[in-house]
Chains A and B, each alone.
Chain A
Amino acid sequence: MGFNMKKVFITLTFILLSTLTFSQANINQQNDPNKFNRLERIYRNLEYNTIGFNDLKTKWVIIDPVLVRTIFNSFIVKNALRIEGKKPSLEYIKDKSLDVHRGEVFIDIRKRYYDNEIDFFRFYSEANLERGEETDMFFDPIEDFVQLRHIVGEKNYELLKAKMYAYNDLTKTYYDNKLAFKFDVLLNMFEPHVRFYNFTTNDKNKYLIGISGKWGYDNIALPGWYSPTFNLGTKVTYIDRILNNKPADVFEFEGGIGLPIQQTILDKDIYTGKRLHYTGASVYFNFTGNFLRYIGPEYGKYNLSLEGALALSTLGPTEINSVHTVTTIYSQRNLLSLTATRRDFLELSSFGHLGAILGVGIYDIGQYLTDDTQVTLTEVPQADGKLRYYVNAAMTIGKDDALFAYSLEPSFMYNIKESNAYFGFKASLLINNSFGFTFKFYSGIDLGSAGLPAYRSDSYIVFSPILRINY
């Protein structure tokens, strides 16, 4: 309190002093704060208001130290520096100009939205910004180009506008990642989709229909490239509500058929060993959604996913194109997996959200003899049966930003039956909702004594570019 009073006293003292000093200049004028107020309000309201565009206006920072001095000096010469509307003392200016000499002062400039004039100008010192004091002004900003032009002079003003000096552009570019529903083409090797049709049955929902594909099963650490089956089918997405143009409560139903695909990464002349073969068509389905929402709204953030592939047919030995000799091969034919996902357990400031995935599942590995003389494929019985059980878990760190969306997913899968485990790492990024890259890596360790199973590689690496076009 005492300190504040002091401030008031000092101010008043100065006022009094100035009164005494320059009383002769006080030409008998009837001034009052109201008058000042009204004039100021008029001044404020003259310009066509474009506050709504403030963030999109061209904005930049002059970093040329000599130019900053030139402009600062013209403010001094024109006696145009103000602090909270008042003229600062020479001592104060001298003090502040030391900051200029130290190179800590830059100029912030913003242009008007519809023409080329400058609508915001201020000196600022980086030190204040680093302390987080966004509003702390070095001196009062100038928000009128006419005034600015009178202070710095026509020539300097043109220079300021022409940007013929070193500066850093800080204009915000608008990046949008809102979902549009006309069509959505997402191309990557593992989970492409082409969504081309949509309709709405009430005023807030949306059905999206398209074609989708799926190559590889990440849950069992068998990513794209290494899988002989490509599931091609239809995907129906049901969006219950669209909030802020972002879908909430999304349900996806995907159904398709497993088709053979070439495993480009593997040597096509080596049939046996660490690879799987396509031995018949299968149906594929995947249901995803926050079904738990119906139990209670607090579970609405958990997404459940039930994914399955069930074998339909078995090819004859002659129909298996990938093998041309008599040998035993492995094939993965059935799969059922259930996972629960929540991606926003914790917020990590500029890094996005932290989430987790948990799942259980079952799949089978069949062993077959490819003897072209036989009509049907002979299954080789396995001592411990065909079925494998596993649990998997993953941590997700991801951000759904318009310009740069990414996700990192370290994962772990434990195969109960085989007592081995695979550590995985998935990373994907998408720039401006259009270009991206995805990468998956899995590396296995044997926890028992049997070693990794014969159909498995020690490690898997797959990657693919992403192209997305959404309108």
Chain B
Amino acid sequence: MRRMKTFTAFFSVLVLAILVTIPAKAQEVDDYLYKIDLKLRKDKKYLNLSYYDFFGTDKFLADLGSLPRTQDKPPLSFKNSDAVTYRVVFLKDGVGMDTLVLLYINEIVDQSVADEGIFGSGQAGVAEQMVMPFNDMYNLMVNHYGQYSRLYNYLDRLQKIDPEFKFGSLLGIVPDDDISTSLGITSRDNTDYVNFMSANYLHWYPKMRKAEKGRRGETTATTISYPYRLDAGLTSISFSHQFMDFSLGGASVELNLEEPVLNILPYSGGVLGFGFRTLISVTDDKKELNNSLMVDARVLGRVILNTKSVIDKLKFVLDGDSKLNLSTAVGLDIHTTRPFGLPFLNLYAMVGSPGYSDPFIRIQDTKSNRDYAYFSFKQAEASMSFYWNTSDKLTARFRLDVGVGYYDIYKAEYNRNAKTIIRGTNKLIVNLFSPVVTLYFNFAPDGSELFGGKFRIFDSQVKAEGWIKLVEFPGGHNIRAAAAIVSGPIARGKQEWESEGGAMFQVRYRYGF
């Protein structure tokens, strides 16, 4: 009870205080009326206002009667016409506002319908005119509250009886389209991986495209499929047909002339590689391909083929005189997507049988009457891949591989003109494990890949590759120009079997990717 007294006393004082602090600040009020009116008339884009259109024939307007206006303007009476629309504009969600605030009424006359003028229907168009500016509306609220509240209640009820009802909006800017995320992103699912692989990999990847969003915004992954897929260039060919797509993924075959671990160009290795590749998703749920554990495995083999003799005649390969012989070998290339939350893993291993007979590249030893040759039988690389994009539009895409590479180098000696090795002269001279860092870059404006680059540092040598899209024909045909550069050793001396660097250029044709 005592507490009550306190309250009462307080409130009486408070009410007094309020009454005292109401000086009529007419000038300020006018200022605001002017400012608001100006703002409403001039600012076309930025106003967060809602509106509701009444047809001139609307029964409610007739019931409402005419609305009084200030400054001796005649009261606004609504024209009962099909061609006239009255747009009541109001403020809905103002900060600190609890209710709708009616602001002004525009009269929109569709002249193509209502034109009965003398000049005929020459100008078909819409004329919009502010018939009840903010001053008048404010006046209506202050002095004719009855009519104001009828209009107000009508609008308020629209949303009450139908929760899904939406008012029109006058907002000219589209903040939602401009959602900018400032930081680059990395997807935690396979999006980046699939994007990268389908743009750069020799073999085909199912492409996941987001179908148009349903009402609840569900996206479904659809694959665009072609009867067969072909990627053909001067250094490698891959092919897969629809019948090779089995339920879990797909298979394809390839031919190539490349050795990815060693710092040599295609054609320089003296081998012809062939391979069989399968892609599967090791997941229980087939629908969520993006979250599944995918395994891309290639079983590789290669046989020796004297491509080195061809190389001098090839205008597109500028070989830096690499003196390494490769051997017939088998191997494996595996890419997996994030097993147990680890990064993407890549493993490549090629194991060849030591065969020293009749190397393609021999070096004459001037001191003795012998030849010698260098061989590499085993190559391997294990790395982790990290993907990221500079923005959520996925325009500039990056991938960084960090790992370890391995190769061995054997040296063998021959008698001049003899094909077989001198017994016991084969020795292991290099057995190298070295860190390897590869940076990939893809540029894909509007989701279509335009350019790809690769920069790899391994064993103090740089290998760079790149491609650019030249032409794209409808129906899945695609032509790219591609180039590769290998540098000589940097910050260390060149070994005898290494090249001083070289470059090659080619055109690739891709279909169905």
Chain A positions within 8 Å of B, measured between CB atoms, are 5, 9, 12-13, 16-18, 20, 22, 24-25, 27, 63-67, 70, 73-74, 76-80, 87, 89-90, 93, 153-159, 161, 163-166, 169
Majority secondary structure, B binding face: loop
15 contacts between A and B (CB under 8 A): A16-B11, A24-B149, A64-B182, A66-B181, A70-B175, A74-B175, A76-B95, A79-B93, A89-B96, A90-B95, A90-B96, A93-B95, A153-B176, A157-B217, A169-B188
Contact call B392/A77, Cβ cutoff below 8 A? no
Please give the distance in Å from B506's CB to the nearest CB on chain A. Answer: 35
Cα distance, A5 to B96, chains bound together (Å)? 25
Contact call A155/B176, Cβ cutoff below 8 A? yes
Say yes or no: is B32 at the interface (Cβ < 8 Å to chain A): no
Cα distance, A22 to B152, chains bound together (Å)? 13
Say yes or no: is B316 at the interface (Cβ < 8 Å to chain A): no
Q: Mark B169-207, 1 if CB is under 8 A from A, else 0.
A: 000000111011111110110000000000000000000
Say yes or no: is B153 at the interface (Cβ < 8 Å to chain A): yes
Cα distance, A157 to B177, chains bound together (Å)? 13
Cα distance, A377 to B153, chains bound together (Å)? 113
Contact call A70/B95, Cβ cutoff below 8 A? no
**Which residue on chain A has the smallest CB distance to residue B178?**
A70
Contact partner of A13 (CB less than 8 A), chosen from B14, B48, B184, is B14
A residues in contact with B156, CB < 8 Å: 27
Cα distance, A433 to B213, chains bound together (Å)? 44
Cα distance, A349 to B99, chains bound together (Å)? 53
**Which residue on chain A has the smallest CB distance to residue B341?**
A173
Contact call B217/A154, Cβ cutoff below 8 A? yes
Contact call B185/A22, Cβ cutoff below 8 A? no
A66-B181, A66-B182 in contact; A9/B48 too (CB < 8 A)?
A: no
Cα distance, A79 to B98, chains bound together (Å)? 9
Contact call A77/B48, Cβ cutoff below 8 A? yes
B residues in contact with A89, CB < 8 Å: 96
Give the interface size class of chain B: 20 to 34
Contact partner of B145 (CB less than 8 A), chosen from A24, A67, A80, A164, is A24
Please give the distance in Å from A85's CB to the nearest CB on chain B. Answer: 14
B residues in contact with A169, CB < 8 Å: 188
Cα distance, A103 to B460, chains bound together (Å)? 42
Identify which of residues 116-175 in chain B touch chain A, using a CB-to-CB cut-off of 8 Å.
141, 145, 149, 153, 156, 175
Contact call A66/B98, Cβ cutoff below 8 A? no
Please give the distance in Å from A168's CB to the nearest CB on chain B. Answer: 11
B residues in contact with A65, CB < 8 Å: 182-183
A residues in contact with B7, CB < 8 Å: 12
Majority secondary structure, A binding face: helix
**Which residue on chain A has the smallest CB distance to residue B171?**
A77
B residues in contact with A12, CB < 8 Å: 7, 11
B residues in contact with A9, CB < 8 Å: 10
Cα distance, A154 to B218, chains bound together (Å)? 12
Say yes or no: is B97 at the interface (Cβ < 8 Å to chain A): yes
Please give the distance in Å from A274's CB to the nearest CB on chain B. Answer: 33
Please give the distance in Å from B171's CB to the nearest CB on chain A. Answer: 9
Chain B positions within 8 Å of A, measured between CB atoms, are 6-7, 10-11, 14, 18, 48, 93-99, 141, 145, 149, 153, 156, 175-177, 179-185, 187-188, 213, 217, 392
A residues in contact with B183, CB < 8 Å: 63-65, 165-166
A24-B145, A77-B48, A165-B185 in contact; A155/B96 too (CB < 8 A)?
A: no
Contact call A22/B153, Cβ cutoff below 8 A? no
Please give the distance in Å from A245's CB to the nearest CB on chain B. Answer: 24
B residues in contact with A67, CB < 8 Å: 179-182
Which of B6, B10, B175 has the most C-beta atoms of chain A within 10 angstroms of its own C-beta? B175
A9-B10, A16-B11, A67-B179 in contact; A158/B96 too (CB < 8 A)?
A: no
Contact call B181/A165, Cβ cutoff below 8 A? yes
Please give the distance in Å from A23's CB to the nearest CB on chain B. Answer: 11
A residues in contact with B182, CB < 8 Å: 64-67
Please give the distance in Å from B181's CB to the nearest CB on chain A. Answer: 4
Contact call A79/B11, Cβ cutoff below 8 A? no
Cα distance, A157 to B217, chains bound together (Å)? 9
B residues in contact with A17, CB < 8 Å: 18
Please give the distance in Å from B476's CB to the nearest CB on chain A. Answer: 27
Cα distance, A73 to B175, chains bound together (Å)? 10
A residues in contact with B185, CB < 8 Å: 164-166
Contact call A158/B11, Cβ cutoff below 8 A? no
B residues in contact with A157, CB < 8 Å: 217
B residues in contact with A93, CB < 8 Å: 95
Contact call B93/A78, Cβ cutoff below 8 A? yes
Cα distance, A156 to B175, chains bound together (Å)? 10
Cα distance, A331 to B175, chains bound together (Å)? 83
- For the complex of A and B, list the 3 residue pairs with the smallest distance between their C-beta atoms, beginning with the closest: A25-B99, A166-B183, A79-B93
B residues in contact with A154, CB < 8 Å: 217
**Given A164-B181, A164-B187, A165-B185, 18 other A-B contacts at CB below 8 A?**
A5-B6, A12-B7, A16-B11, A25-B99, A66-B180, A66-B181, A70-B175, A77-B93, A79-B93, A79-B94, A79-B95, A79-B97, A80-B93, A87-B98, A93-B95, A156-B176, A158-B213, A158-B217
Please give the distance in Å from A101's CB to the nearest CB on chain B. Answer: 13
Contact call A22/B98, Cβ cutoff below 8 A? yes
A residues in contact with B48, CB < 8 Å: 77
Contact call A166/B99, Cβ cutoff below 8 A? no
A residues in contact with B94, CB < 8 Å: 79
B residues in contact with A80, CB < 8 Å: 93
Contact partner of A165 (CB less than 8 A), chosen from B6, B149, B392, is B392
Please give the distance in Å from B142's CB to the nearest CB on chain A. Answer: 10
Which of B18, B179, B187 has the most C-beta atoms of chain A within 10 angstroms of its own C-beta? B179
B residues in contact with A25, CB < 8 Å: 98-99
Please give the distance in Å from A20's CB to the nearest CB on chain B. Answer: 8
B residues in contact with A159, CB < 8 Å: 179, 392
B residues in contact with A63, CB < 8 Å: 183
Cα distance, A24 to B149, chains bound together (Å)? 8
**Which residue on chain B has the smallest CB distance to residue A26?**
B99
Cα distance, A169 to B341, chains bound together (Å)? 12
Which of B99, B177, B392 has the most C-beta atoms of chain A within 10 angstroms of its own C-beta? B392
Cα distance, A5 to B99, chains bound together (Å)? 30
Please give the distance in Å from B7's CB to the nearest CB on chain A. Answer: 8
**Which residue on chain B has the smallest CB distance to residue A159?**
B179
Please give the distance in Å from A73's CB to the nearest CB on chain B. Answer: 7
Cα distance, A166 to B181, chains bound together (Å)? 8
A residues in contact with B11, CB < 8 Å: 12, 16
B residues in contact with A74, CB < 8 Å: 175
Cα distance, A165 to B182, chains bound together (Å)? 8
**Which residue on chain B has the smallest CB distance to residue A153?**
B176
**Which residue on chain A has the smallest CB distance to residue B340?**
A432
Contact partner of A164 (CB less than 8 A), chosen from B93, B96, B213, B392, is B392
Please give the distance in Å from B182's CB to the nearest CB on chain A. Answer: 4
Please give the distance in Å from A96's CB to the nearest CB on chain B. Answer: 12
Which of A73, A158, A164 has the most C-beta atoms of chain B within 10 angstroms of its own C-beta? A164
A13-B14, A16-B11, A153-B176 in contact; A166/B184 too (CB < 8 A)?
A: yes
Cα distance, A93 to B93, chains bound together (Å)? 15
**Which residue on chain A has the smallest CB distance to residue B191?**
A164
Cα distance, A222 to B97, chains bound together (Å)? 80
A residues in contact with B177, CB < 8 Å: 155
A residues in contact with B184, CB < 8 Å: 166
**Which residue on chain B has the smallest CB distance to residue A27?**
B153
Cα distance, A366 to B337, chains bound together (Å)? 59
Contact call A163/B188, Cβ cutoff below 8 A? yes
**Which residue on chain A has the smallest CB distance to residue B10?**
A9
Please give the distance in Å from A403's CB to the nearest CB on chain B. Answer: 12
Cα distance, A66 to B175, chains bound together (Å)? 13
B residues in contact with A163, CB < 8 Å: 187-188
Please give the distance in Å from B218's CB to the nearest CB on chain A. Answer: 8
Please give the distance in Å from B203's CB to the nearest CB on chain A. Answer: 27
Contact call A156/B179, Cβ cutoff below 8 A? yes
Cα distance, A166 to B391, chains bound together (Å)? 9
**Which residue on chain B has the smallest CB distance to residue A432?**
B340
Cα distance, A430 to B179, chains bound together (Å)? 45
Please give the distance in Å from B212's CB to the nearest CB on chain A. Answer: 12
Please give the distance in Å from B290's CB to the nearest CB on chain A. Answer: 11
